[in-house]
Amino acid sequence: MTHSSSAVVALAGAVDQHRSLIARLQRRVAEVDSDLGWETVATTRLVLRGNGVNDKHAAWVGELDAGVRIPVSRPESGAGNWRVAIEEWERLESDPDVGSNAPHWENRLIYADAFDL
């Protein structure tokens, strides 16, 4: 079952108030021999564009430009010099700053993963 485009736009607007998904294209830094050895080349906020078989499945899309051609490799080869890191952030209202009645918003990382290209 898929929703009409207006339903997807309404859902995306509601979700955007409290959630954001970020994709980061990263390149391995050869001089750093650990999982910290990645530099971000491009970042984009993903946009909710549809849903899957039910309302609990969502399709998020975005584009990242490396500025170069990335060769295709098998993930199990271990030769991954490029990856895409995905982060899901939740926006929460928190206590106001001292002396202020205005709402204060915090962002909390609730999911992170990466996959090799």
Per-residue model confidence as pLDDT tens digits over 4-13: 667 666 666 6
Rounded to an integer, what distance in angstroms lies between the CA atom of residue 41 and that of residue 25? Answer: 6
What's the pTM value of the predicted model, to 2 decimals? 0.74
For residue 76, the 8-state DSSP code is G
Is residue 24 within 8 A of residue 87, CB to CB? The reply is yes
Q: Where are the domains of the chain?
A: 5-116
Q: Please identify which residue in the block is written with the tokens 């409290």.
A: 18
Rounded to an integer, what distance in angstroms lies between the CA atom of residue 6 and that of residue 62? Answer: 19
Q: Which of 40-44, 45-49, 97-101 has the highest mean pLDDT?
A: 40-44
N-to-C CA span, the chain:
31
Per residue in 70-116, pLDDT (tens digit) is: 877 766 666 678 889 999 999 888 877 777 777 788 889 999 999 88
Lowest mean pLDDT among 6-10, 34-38, 45-49: 6-10
